[in-house]
Every structure is written in C-alpha cells, then in structure tokens.
Amino acid sequence: MNILKIYAVMSGRDIERNCETEREVKTRRKREQEEWARHGGYMNAKVQKLINKYDSDKSRENHESQSKLFGNVAIFVNGYTEPSFDVLRNYMIEGGGRFEHYYSATRVTHIVATSLALSKHKLFADKKVVLPSWITDSVKKNSLQPYEKYLLLKRNKITNFFTSRESAPWTGSDVIDPLGKSQRNTRC
C-alpha cells in the first residue's frame, strides 16, 4: 500500500477528495487567468487607469485658461529628459495634449527623447522622435513649432545614403605601422 494512503487511513483524511479540490482550484484559477487575458489583461487595465487619472488631472485644471496648443499631440517620453518627465506632462495637460505613460503606435503622435539606444533607433525609425526642446520652445512661443527642426532621428534622403570614402567608417583594410605610415593590408 502507498505510504500516503496508509497515512490517510490512519489519520482519517481523504486524500483523493483533497486532490480533487486542488484540481478544482487550479481549473478555476486557469479559467480566471484566461478570462483576464481575454479581456485585455493587466496592462490594458493599468493603461486605462493611467488614462483615467490623466483625464481627471486635466479636468481639475481651469478649462478657461487651458490652451489648445498641443490639441492634436500625444507624447511618450523615452528615458531621461531635461526638463523632467513631470514638467513635460504638465506642459501637455496645460496645452490640451495627451501624455502616454506607455508607448502605443496607435495613440502616440510624438516620442520625446534626449537619446535612444540602438534597438530604439530601429523601433522608432519611421516615427517622430523629437527633442524635449520642441515642447519647451512651443510653450515659450505659444505656438506649435514645426517638429522637423527638433527631430532626434533625422530621416536620410537617398542622396545621403551613399557616403564618400573620407566620411565612411574605418573598415580595417588600412594598417597603420608604429612609425605612423599608412600601408595597405596585404598578405605575404
């Protein structure tokens, strides 16, 4: 006889009933998780909560003094910026724009960053990635400035695609000897 069954008989517990209850609990938890995921899951709930908070902060502002400077603008701040995250958020609230805590290609119109990692360069290559000065200058001048002057990622034109040999990065084909003379890399 199995040791667990002997213990169950001796202690008067019904192990099979307990195992069945555990299965029911696991099934119920799995069903709840699937339902949670089906309705958008944790992140959608979190994003919606942040949107609601943003809207409530926006409604607390005096509607009469609120400008429409950033009326059709929704920004996402990526990384450290000067001015800070909170200052940019307040500029957007006061200017009638939107501030997104998480990047969404469908909701965000501009990404604000001072610098980007290489992976973000690839991810945001076709997006409007602007410097924080675009927002501060727009607020100072009380008009939305053209974002093209503030682009962090300049879009290459076909003429800029081809670089001259002088501006191309070092390829390793030239070897510099200790005396400072440049020689072509040749095999002996």
For 70-117, the pLDDT digits (tens) are 888 999 999 889 999 889 998 988 888 888 888 888 889 999 999 988
pLDDT of residue 174: 44
CATH code linked to domain 45-157:
3.40.50.10190
SS3 content of the chain, % helix, strand, coil (to 5): 45, 10, 45
* Weakest mean pLDDT among 19-28, 115-124, 162-171: 162-171
- Residue 180's pLDDT is 52
The Cα 1–Cα 7 span in angstroms is 10
Highest mean pLDDT among 12-16, 41-45, 90-94, 152-156: 90-94
* pLDDT at 130 > cutoff 70: yes
Residue 7's SS3 state is helix
Tell me what the mean pLDDT of segment 142-162 comes to.
75
| Predicted local distance difference test score (pLDDT) of residue 135 | 94
Q: Burial-class residue 140 by CB neighbours within 10 Å (0-12, 13-18, 19+).
A: exposed
Residues of the chain with pLDDT > 90, as a percent, come to 22
| Phi/psi-derived region of residue 180, left when phi > 0, alpha when psi is between -120 and 50, beta in every other case | left
CA distance 25 to 28: 5
Which residues, 6 or more positions from 91, have their beta carbon under 8 angstroms from its beta carbon?
70, 135, 136, 139
